[in-house]
Chains A and B, each alone.
Chain A
Amino acid sequence: MEESLLRVEELHKSFGDLEVLRGVSLVLSQGRKLSIIGPSGSGKSTLLRCINYLEEPTKGHIYVNGHLVGEKLVDGRYVRMSSKELAPQRAEIGMVFQNFYLWPHLTARENVAIGPQRVRGLSKKDSLDLADMMLEKVRMARKRDEYPERLSGGQQQRVAIARALAQEPRLMLFDEPTSALDPELVGEVLKVIYELADEGRTMVLVTHEIGFAQEVSDEVIFVDKGRVAAHGPPCDVLQNPQQERLCSFLGKLLGS
């Protein structure tokens, strides 16, 4: 049996009275790509953000590479980890945000290098070299000394991807990476993500780009109202949707 890279067990998350996740479970093996689709408010972003504990689940557990994320077992009870313990766990998981969240006071190169330097303790030279390599990978090397405000959305997102790659992560999370981009910039970002997928990385993507999800994923889950409503390989879920909600969701999205 393959040791799974990511295991989510019965995840619940409520914000006050609002229950956003109502028991989501999934397993992802190394090297596989999972896409999460679903209507707005279905909880898909929350699900993603729970994986690297940017959101703390109300119930349920997350395991990456067999290790509990965000919590530890103390005398048989689950206790939330401190920020200091959590940080190295997050360092193993790369996240790309919908709104990029590049740091405006740093150049592209510095944005990518600061993680390796400050978090993993690489020397300044090694960090910058690593940053250059990652920027080269996303084809942003020639803009490395620019500040984010001078970059287009697509360029910023590619730098953000480079930043996540610089962590040399075991798992990569993408939270609607192209939703905030102008249509003509979407392609360049998807191309980069596709190349990363080709390299055999383990990835979880929340996305609205159904065609892309079809091409890149090994598995797709459809999250609706906080639950996994459909799960399977892309051709099953996307080509032959069984559930009515899924059909109407895809219909709206694809305009057919």
Chain B
Amino acid sequence: MSEFLQIYAENWSDWWPQLVPAMWNTVALTALSYLFAVVLGIILALGKLSKIRVVRALCKSYIEFVRGIPALAILFLLYFALVPLGIVFNSFTAAVIGLGMNQGGYMAEVFRGGIEALHKGQREAALAVGMTPVKAYRNIIMPQAIRIVLPPLLNMLINLLKDTSICSLISAPELMLRAKDIASMSFRPMHIYLLIGVLYFTMAWPLSMITRRVEAHMHRGRRSTV
């Protein structure tokens, strides 16, 4: 066991400086694709609720297609399959767009649930009690919508973080790719992959804790309706 740990001690000064920038890239990749997904998700959700049939159909098809194929397939399509057609993305861009497009489809459903909370009798009840639309929005509707939307959104952030590892397969400069490089040069795959497992965990776990706290907070005073 100590032999095992010894390897880490020997190589730390070599590996760590390589891993840190890769971790930052992973964080950046996560953040950017998350933003993309959120914006796309809102647009799609609104589109699905649109009065124009074509718009509704387009959004619905997009969501169904994107949710029916692997994220990896989307990444490959963006990075490799568009090249013969003249569209070339660098790997990081392809990763951001690809993950964003994928997650956006899922977020659309989450946002739709939140928006529908705006349509319920809650709004009418707020108005009936004498609130102005603005007051109703701020005090009744937004809090409800956020309650509905926040936990899934947080969960998606964590999933996105883990999905960035897939981008290594299109050579995006994130943590997993860097790990493969180091593994092939140092011939210590077990150590490396265990190490980045730990690194991913340390990035994901705080998010997971926060998510759990938020979920518990949101469920205060609400009877389970299952």
Direct contact between the two chains A and B in their complex (CB within 8 A): no
Could you tell me which A residues sit within 8 Å of B by CB distance? none
Could you tell me which B residues sit within 8 Å of A by CB distance? none
